[in-house]
Structures are given as C-alpha cells and as structure tokens.
Amino acid sequence: MSRLWVIELMQEHKISKRPKFEYISHLKGKNHSMYGKKWETLLGNKEAKMRKEIYSKRFRELIIKRLENMEIPFRDTSIERAIAWELTKRKIKFVRQYRIDKFVCDFAIPEYKIAIECDGDYWHANPKIYKENEINDIQKIKVGVDKEKNTLFREKGWIVLRFFESEIKKSVSGCVDIIVEQVKKVANPLDGI
C-alpha cells in the first residue's frame, strides 16, 4: 500500500494526522533540542562514528527500497524516458530502478542479466567532455561509485551497458540497437528474439 494512497484516503475520510504532528513539525531548525550539537560532542568519537555508519547503512537501504518501489517523488530524467520509450516501442521487456545487491541500476533486463545505466555527461564526467584531472570532487565520487557498481554487477554475472547523455541525445535508437545486440548475444536462439 502506497503512502500517498493512505494520505489520500485520510483526506477523503477527513482523518486527521496524529495529534502531536503540529508540535513535532515545529521542532525544526533552531527549535530542535539537537540543533547545533554534533554526535562527537554527545557520544564521543568512537560511538559517533559507529552511529553514523549504522544510520548511513539504514538510510541507504531505505532509499534503495523506495527506488525499487517507485516511492520517492522523482521523475525519470529525459534520457531515461527516451531509452524507456525506445525499449517499449521495440517491445523489449525491462524493469526500471532494478536492485542488484547494494545498488540500483536505471533499467534492467533481468532475464538476460543486462543492466542499463543512463549517465548525465556532467554528473558522471563523460571522458569525451571532461579530462580526468579537471573534474570536481562530486564528479570524482560519482565516477568512483560507477566503477564500484560496474565491478559488483559483473561479479554477480551481469552485463553493464552505460550510455552518456550526449550519446542518447545524438541517437537513442543507436543506443537501443546496442542493447538489442547484447540481448541477441545472450539469448537462446530458440527465444525468438
């Protein structure tokens, strides 16, 4: 059951939010008892580091779960919509936001273990545009995560196909041709693809 669906039902039947909601919601910013305090000050460095690691892992799992269930209020990027449209047009079955271990890929064709990523030129530091020694810290992090994803997916037996924004905008059909060719390489000749 979707959270949005529950909220709509509550509004429709005039069910109010929990009684302390107004009180809780005003405890933001400077009104919050923890405002300006660091975990290190309250718990010490060792305990604070442990707590941060636990929360980081918990939030990562929550975000991945929300991505899988399409619960996060986000929209697919224009390049993801273009790839999805072309895959749909060609009647290729795919899954959006597919989880493989601790990562989620933009699209997957699980039957053939093909993961598809649509990478923005800027955020993923397209090497045809950005020199490795000129990218900023955020781009470096993204590139590192992409490499880690590729390694993990391949270790799990997945084929990873990455397309940069400029490639997709230049020829979305060309990108999907590559996907189709990969499916044909993996597919059983009797599958009828």
Residue 23 has pLDDT above 60, yes or no: no
Percentages helix, strand, coil for the chain (3-state, rounded to 5) are: 55, 15, 30
> Binning pLDDT at 50, 70 and 90, where does residue 60 land?
confident
pLDDT at 70: 63
Residue 138 CB: number of other CB atoms within 10 A? 11
pLDDT at 57: 83
Is-contact 114 182, C-beta < 8 A? yes
| Cα–Cα dist 153/157, whole Å | 6
Report which of residues 152 and 132 the model is more confident about: 152
The mean-pLDDT minimum among 21-25, 45-49, 95-99, 161-165 falls in 21-25
* pLDDT, tens digit (0-9, with 9 covering 90-100), for 115-125: 999 999 999 99
The total number of residues written for the chain in this structure? 193
| Cα–Cα dist 29/106, whole Å | 35
DSSP lists the bridge partners of residue 108 as: 95, 115
Domains delineated in the chain: 38-74 (no CATH), 78-191 (3.40.960.10)
pLDDT at 142: 92
Its pTM stands at 0.64
> Binning pLDDT at 50, 70 and 90, where does residue 44 land?
confident
Residues 38-48, mean pLDDT to the nearest whole number:
84
Residue 25 has pLDDT above 80, yes or no: no
Residues 4-19, mean pLDDT to the nearest whole number:
73
| Cα–Cα dist 171/169, whole Å | 6
Share of the chain above pLDDT 90, in %: 50
The mean-pLDDT minimum among 37-51, 65-79, 159-173 falls in 65-79
* pLDDT, tens digit (0-9, with 9 covering 90-100), for 62-116: 777 777 666 665 667 899 999 999 999 999 999 998 999 989 899 999 999 999 9
Residue 3 has pLDDT above 70, yes or no: no
